[in-house]
Amino acid sequence: MKACIIGGGSWGSAFALHLGRLKVRTKLWVRETDILETLLKTRENKTFLPGHVFPAPVSFYHDLPEAVVSTEFLFVAVPSQFCRDLYAEIAPYLTDDQIVVSLTKGLEQKSLMRMSQVMEEVFHPYRKPRLAVLSGPSFAKEVARGNPTALVVASKDPECARKVQHLISCLALRAYASSDIIGVEIAGALKNVIAIAAGITDSLECGMNSKAALITRGLVEMNRLGTHLGARRETFSGLAGMGDLILTCTGELSRNHYVGSELGKGRSLRAILSGMKMVAEGVRTTLSAHHLARRENIEMPISEQVYQVLYKNKSPRKAIEDLMSRALKNE
């Protein structure tokens, strides 16, 4: 088997490391020349995944066409804001036999489309590769350490999902297959918004009662929007939904939780983001979720308050007060 990982950030690097340990011949494409030079010299991504040396089956590339061609599986692990342009770059080099898997957990800001929808729109004038998405509770550092991890791979094509499932599964990583690509992508995107809210409540020392309520009601919002868009309700009780939501809202490695925590301390969003090496997808997804909820007329009060804090300079404490003082209703 031959695979290619597009994106040399923490998740792309960790996933390439994982495939290399499985003896899969893996190309890791890196845009940043300084990171590539370090990889070629030391076989370690000292910027995004320090302390882990890539095994021999992993090789490093800067030329995108060279990385893409002659691979059976193509995993794209770049932030959502860069996906469309990158899809356009690789589209002419794809074949109908390739399987392209999105590792991105976000929505395109302008179109409000899921990543698989953007892939279809960009790829299909050229080729029609088989598409899948991979999501679930998966901090890159823990996958790199080989900690037991469970994920879900979703595709409209059951055979495509099974192929990815069997490629990546081992004692350290177990993949479940799903046909609910809408649910898996919506869950993966929206859990980051709720994680920002969780960071705020933790920073303000609201306690575990509020954390439990936030996760539970956040799941309701994810479910409400997802099922409206055609997702299956049970997906949100699984790894891509509840599983990833719990991880991102409680784990110390969560970038989105960190953003919320710093907001709760009174720091500005600009100052927080300027000091981060890695992208917190929830910041942009909050804006997309706001517009998507408005367009579809779906009530998402937690997501709306996160939007108000991020983009309208609302006080985090006032956002919590407004959530707690909403009109009473049945669960």
Q: Does the annotation mark 46 as catalytic? A: no
**d(Cα 319, Cα 324) in Å, to the nearest integer?**
9
* Identity of the residue numbered 157: D
Note the pLDDT of residue 126.
85
Report the predicted TM-score, pTM, of the whole model to 2 decimal places.
0.96
Structure tokens at 212: 């439990």
Report yes or no: 281 and 195 within 8 Å, Cβ to Cβ. Answer: no
**d(Cα 39, Cα 26) in Å, to the nearest integer?**
14
Note the pLDDT of residue 278.
84
- Strand 130-135 to 149-154 pairing: antiparallel
**d(Cα 114, Cα 108) in Å, to the nearest integer?**
6
Report yes or no: 132 and 100 within 8 Å, Cβ to Cβ. Answer: yes
Report yes or no: 255 and 190 within 8 Å, Cβ to Cβ. Answer: no
Structure tokens at 153: 């791979």
Report yes or no: 192 and 280 within 8 Å, Cβ to Cβ. Answer: yes
Report yes or no: 12 and 21 within 8 Å, Cβ to Cβ. Answer: no
3-state secondary structure the chain: CEEEEECCCHHHHHHHHHHHHCCCEEEEECCCHHHHHHHHHHCECCCCCCCCECCCCEEEECCHHHHHCCCCEEEECCCHHHHHHHHHHHHHHCCCCCEEEECCCCECCCCCCEHHHHHHHHHCCCCCCEEEEEECCCCHHHHHHCCCEEEEEECCCHHHHHHHHHHHCCCCEEEEEECCHHHHHHHHHHHHHHHHHHHHHHHCCCCHHHHHHHHHHHHHHHHHHHHHCCCCHHHHHCHHHHHHHHHHHHCCCCHHHHHHHHHHCCCCHHHHHHCCCCCCHHHHHHHHHHHHHHHHCCCCHHHHHHHHHHHCCCCHHHHHHHHHCCCCCCC
Cα–Cα distances in Å, from 276 out to 32, 151, 255, 262? 16, 26, 9, 12
Rounded to the nearest 5°, which phi and psi values hold at 136?
A: 125, 175
Active-site annotation holder among 27, 105, 163, 191? 191
**Chain segment 115-130, per-residue pLDDT in tens:** 999 999 999 988 899 9
How many CB atoms lie under 10 A from the CB of residue 116?
22
Note the pLDDT of residue 279.
86
Structure tokens at 294: 């408005």
**d(Cα 16, Cα 27) in Å, to the nearest integer?**
8
Structure tokens at 291: 């517009």
Note the pLDDT of residue 1.
85
**Chain segment 80-106, per-residue pLDDT in tens:** 999 999 999 999 999 999 999 999 999
Note the pLDDT of residue 193.
98
- Strand 2-6 to 25-29 pairing: parallel
Note the pLDDT of residue 63.
96
Domains and CATH numbers, the chain: 2-179 (3.40.50.720), 182-324 (1.10.1040.10)
**d(Cα 20, Cα 256) in Å, to the nearest integer?**
28
How high is the mean pLDDT in each 10-residue block of the chain (331 residues)? 96 98 98 96 96 98 96 97 96 96 96 97 92 98 98 97 98 98 98 98 97 98 98 98 98 95 96 90 96 97 98 97 96 91
